[in-house]
Structure 1
Amino acid sequence: MSSNEKIGLKEKISFAFANMGNIPVTALVNSFLLIFYTNVVGLDPAACATLFLIARILDGVNDPIVGYVVDHFPNTKHGHFRVTLMIGSFLCALNYLLLWFGPMMATGFKLGIAYISYLLLGILFPVMDISLNSLLPVMTSDARERDKLSGLKGTIYLLGSLAVGVVGPLVIGDTSKSGGYIALVAGAAVIIFLFSFIGAWGVKERIKAAPGQSYSIKDLYRIITKKPVLVIFLASLLYTTSSYVSSTVSTYNYIYIIGDFSMMSAISMVTVVAMFPGIILSGILSTRIGKKYTYVIGLLACLCFPMLRLINVVSIPVLIISSALASCGAGIIVPQLYSIQADNTDYVELETGKRAEGAIASLSSFVTKCGMGLGGALPGYILAAAGFQKDAAVQTETVKSAIILCCTWIPFVLAIVAAALIITLYPLTKEKLEEQNRKITEIRARTEKT
């Protein structure tokens, strides 16, 4: 099986299914868990903020360990990362039900159950997520095929997030009643396992580690501190935190600023139109100016255009325009994230002689969870400090200002810092990446011959 073999339609569909299965895990937690815990379970927002922050940082420490275990999982006749994806999705789906329904059904120890299940999510989701993100580098070494798969992955993530944004509020209905949450989370658990299993079954792993390419625990620090890996780690941490701050507070924005929770679905439907031009533009820009600067453009668009809302925070037209422009930026940036991750995996192989798909993917998972923790905690702390009252139909001006702060200024500042990091420190320009691809292709061609 050649590492440059073209990816057929059936396998691309399977890859899409695998990515669909990954979406509900963080998308629902990101958008609805805080308001579910405060308005249905009855937990204090500051207590939830502490939970999100502590749990995510603590379980984030285990990501390199999970990545190491996934990388060193025995190869089977069914593959390597495919098997760990199947196992991880099953366990993650079971724990997902506990995360939501455990605190709701308990008569006491609600916060304790939330901590336990949230910590378990931080252990089990990386098995699933790292395995999934390790598939792209081993499915093909052809740069164009990788870009196509990255674009497909980004498209699925955007559409999946959109689906959550549209369907979620419609299914939930009243955010203070449990019925809608039960239906939504139960359906999500089925999707998590079933789609991941079908997807993993249908893809192929063409690139396998040669003897001597496996890395040791001692090599791990050297791998994750390589300059391209470390810079993208820091920039992605800022980007993810920004996104989670904004999306965590978005539900509060529609309820207490816009005054119409159903508008969340309407805006999500509008923004889908803006995503596709971004995805198309991502491929065009990547070819012309390289992935580095395409990523920067998408980053700034995604997180800076929401600042337009400050023109009039209750204006629906302004909300639509700012959301659409930001969605276009998301369409640019998301495909680049996964393609850059694959490039960094190749960089590590050239520099160290070690294949470390799981280690690089575990870093991505670590970033996601740290971003979830920081991004989920900041709105909780800010809302608590501003005096948020869950039973109040109308919040004070201080609370409203806090919501707007989380929707605009915080993401804006973090985006500027992230863009500056990539521009000044990320070394893989378009020209350097072309040279890297040439070298890695030559090495793998020699390996396949032997």
Structure 2
Amino acid sequence: MSKKDGKIRFINYFSYGMNDFIGAGAFALTSAWLLYFYTTFCGLTPIEASSIFALARIVDAVASPTMGFITDNFHKTALGRRFGRRKFFLLAAIPLIIVYSAIWVSGFSYLYYVGTYIAFEIVYTMVLIPYDTLAAEMTSDFKIRAKLTSARMYIAQFSAFLAAFIPGRLINTLGKESPQSFLIAGGIFTVIFIIVLILVYTFTWERSLEEIEILEGRHSKEKLSFGQNVMKIYIDLVTTLKIRTFRAHLGMYIGGYLAQDTFNAVFTYFIVFALFKGAVVASNLLALMYIFQIAGVGIATYCTLRLSPGGAFRVVSLIFLASIAGYLIVYGTIPDSLAALYVVSALAGLGRGGINFVPWNNYTFVPDVDEIVSADRREGVFAGFMSLLRKASQALAVFLVGVILQEFNFKSGSTSQPPEALTAMAVILIAAPAILLIYGIISSYKFKVSHESHEVLKKEIARLKDGGLKEDVDAETRTTVEELTGLNYENVWGNNKVGYRNWRRYKENQKA
């Protein structure tokens, strides 16, 4: 909704969604092309190239939860009060995002690529964690949040399409031997990122300072030491896993996104080497896939509103599974058929677009479930956890692909590969995503948030905020809260060890 009159307009949806040019566009470009770029143009072995992603995750294990903690508390600083506890970091990232272009420069050493990639990942974290909190802070309405997520996912699929399409056109123009194609693509995206950050900063908003102070009024304002703040970051992070809805969400998220990360990491290799097609064909197939992902978002949005978030995830996962079976059929029977590859890739796009939508739509409701457990608003904590997990899953996928390819005798810089490397590419592309999607589907049955249950949850939180007694809860609300949280009703609203404040109070009571 607009800050002034309570309405969310097109410009708000559009600007909010545009940030996924950074979230999805940068991710798509790096997932589809960076490992290939490192091994083809930078002289790195598959293990050296994939280790860069793993090293970045070690840094991110500190950076993501720390950024989540900082954005939850930055309103206590002069800068936070002036520019916003979340949006200050979006503003600060505008000049820093230029580092994205630096990762696409060829001819440097391994240490250069480690340093530039880690630098970009820090800026990426600085953008994504504050951004991921905004939908939950801009509105509490179930349908409006779904529309915000839809806007985000439509932009995400379009940006991913450009990430696949642009390098292919540049390769076609400059030649497959030129690394300049990737540098130019990185520069184009960097300019887009700067424009996007300006739009997001200008046309979105976060929870007001007055509301934050009311929420903080529930708790003691005791100042914590540095050591206590460090402990708070990690206790807050770990105790998110005590929320049943969050665990179910993570199952779908890990299953769906890690399946795609594995698929992305090996897809270009599979098309170029296993099916003997060029990088331009790989680019065209990815571009088609991302076009159909836009339609996949529409399918997932419809299924979410008509069925349930869990049901929507099952529908789109089955579509993606069908496409994976299609790749297996093409590889085993008609590897020369471009038409078959295009059909299967279009089907993959429908499934992948929906898989991208469902977890991010579901995520916006997790802080609401957590609030009735912890009696606190911890959007930044959950955003930090999600960012860490998202990037860790990509790094794990890329690292394992790199290790497997090297173990099966992949030759960096070569235009042909031995049979065992080709078989490894096909197995990774088909078996790994299928197993992960099945895990996500199983988890989807445990995610119980719906429009109806969310309304019950909001009313109960409002009742407790107004001083209502827990013993006055009605049977339907009790059942709904217990189903969503995984806790007995008597143990919600701060009567537990979820979150640092509640954990510390519990420990002090144990000593008393």
- TM surpasses 0.5: yes
Superposed CA offset, 1:380-416 (max 9, x none)? 1121111112343222221211111122111111111
- 1:250 maps onto 2:267 in alignment: yes
Which one-letter code corresponds to 1:86 in the other structure? L
Matching residue of 2:362 = 340
Change (3 A) 1:330 1:434: farther
Which residue matches 1:267? 285
Q: Deviations over 1:177-228 (max 9, x none)?
A: 2211221112222222221122221223355423426895454433343222
Match of 1:161 in 2: 160
Number of equivalences: 440
- Of 91, 103, 106, which residue of structure 2 is paired with 1:99? 103
Equivalent in the alignment of 2:180: 179
Partner residue of 2:299 out of 269, 281, 300: 281
Work out which structure has the larger RCO, using CA pairs closer than 8 Å and 6 or more positions apart in sequence.
1
Q: CA deviation at 1:269?
A: 4.4
Match in the other structure for 2:92: 87
- 1:421–1:142 distance in 2 versus 1, CA, 3 Å: closer
Check 1:335–1:252 CA distance in 2 against 1; reply closer, same or farther (3 A cut): same
- TM-superposed CA distance for 1:317, in Å, is 2.7
Report what 2:244 is aligned to.
227
TM-score normalised by length of structure 2: 0.79
Q: Which amino acid aligns with 2:84?
A: G
Q: Answer yes or no: is the 8 Å Cα contact 1:289–1:430 preserved in 2.
A: no
In structure 1, C-alpha distance between the alignment counterparts of 2:306 and 2:404, rounded to whole Å: 42
Query: Residue 17 of structure 2 contacts residue 154 of structure 2 at CA under 8 Å; is this kept in 1?
Result: no
Secondary structure of residue in 1 paired with 2:131 = helix
Rg (Cα) greater in structure: 2
The superposition leaves residues 316-353 of structure 1 with CA deviations (integer Å, 9 ceiling, x where unpaired) of 23322221122111232222222211110111112211
Preserved CA contact (<8 Å) 2:64 2:387: yes
CA RMSD of aligned residues (A): 2.7
Establish whether residue 302 from structure 1 lines up as the match of residue 320 from structure 2. yes
Written as runs of structure 1 = structure 2, the 5 A alignment for 1:402-421 is 402-421=424-443
Taking the aligned partners of 2:147 and 2:298, their CA distance within structure 1 comes to 11
Q: Which residue of 1 aligns with 2:407?
A: 385
| 5+ long unaligned stretches in structure 2 | 220-228, 468-512
Q: Provide the C-alpha distance between the structure 2 equivalents of 1:349 and 1:4, rounded to a whole number of angstroms.
A: 27
| CA positional deviation for 1:57 | 4.2
Runs of 5+ in structure 1 lacking a partner? none
Does the C-alpha gap of structure 1 residues 188 and 294 become closer, same or farther in structure 2, counting only changes over 3 Å? same
For 2:250, give the aligned amino acid. Answer: F
Match of 1:148 in 2: 147
Q: CA deviation at 1:437?
A: 4.0
Deviates more, 1:260-269 or 1:175-184: 260-269
Quickly say closer, same or farther: Cα 1:274–1:115, change in 2 above 3 A. Answer: closer
**Equivalent residue letter for 2:245:** P
CA contact (8 A) 1:19 1:196 kept: no
Displacement of 1:303? 4.5
One-letter code of the match for 2:154? T
Alpha carbons 1:4, 1:140 under 8 Å: kept: no
2:487 paired residue number: none
Higher mean Cα deviation, 175-184 or 345-354?
A: 175-184
Structure 1 residue 232 displacement after superposition: 2.1
Question: Which amino acid counterpart does residue 81 of structure 1 have in structure 2?
Answer: R
Amino acid at match of 2:28: A
SS in 2 for 1:62: helix
**Distance of aligned partners of 1:178 and 1:276 in 2 relative to their CA distance in 1, 3 Å threshold:** closer
Structure 1 contact 383–403 (Cα < 8 Å) conserved: yes
Which letter maps to 1:146?
R
Deviation sequence 1:219-268 (CA, Å, 0-9, x none): 44333432222332243223322211111222212221241322234324
Q: 1:393 to 1:298 in 2, by over 3 A?
A: same
CA contact (8 A) 1:279 1:335 kept: yes
Letter in 2 for 1:87: A
Q: Tell me the amino acid that sits aligned with residue 323 of structure 2.
A: F
**Residues 70 and 131 of structure 1 are in contact (CA less than 8 Å); yes or no, is this contact kept in structure 2?**
yes
Contact 2:15 2:204 in 1 (8 A): yes
Which one is further off, 75-84 or 371-380? 75-84
Measured in 1, the distance between the counterparts of 2:386 and 2:163 equals 22
Secondary structure at 1:16 match in 2: helix
Contact 1:3 1:141 in 2 (8 A): no
2:463 and 2:320 map into 1 onto residues whose CA distance is 37
Query: Partner of 1:328 in structure 2?
Result: 350
Give the equivalent residue in structure 2 for 1:31: 32
Aligned to 2:64: 63
Of stretches 80-89 and 357-366 in structure 1, the one that deviates more from structure 2 is 80-89
Q: Does 1:291 align with 2:290?
A: no
Contact 1:134 1:358 in 2 (8 A): yes
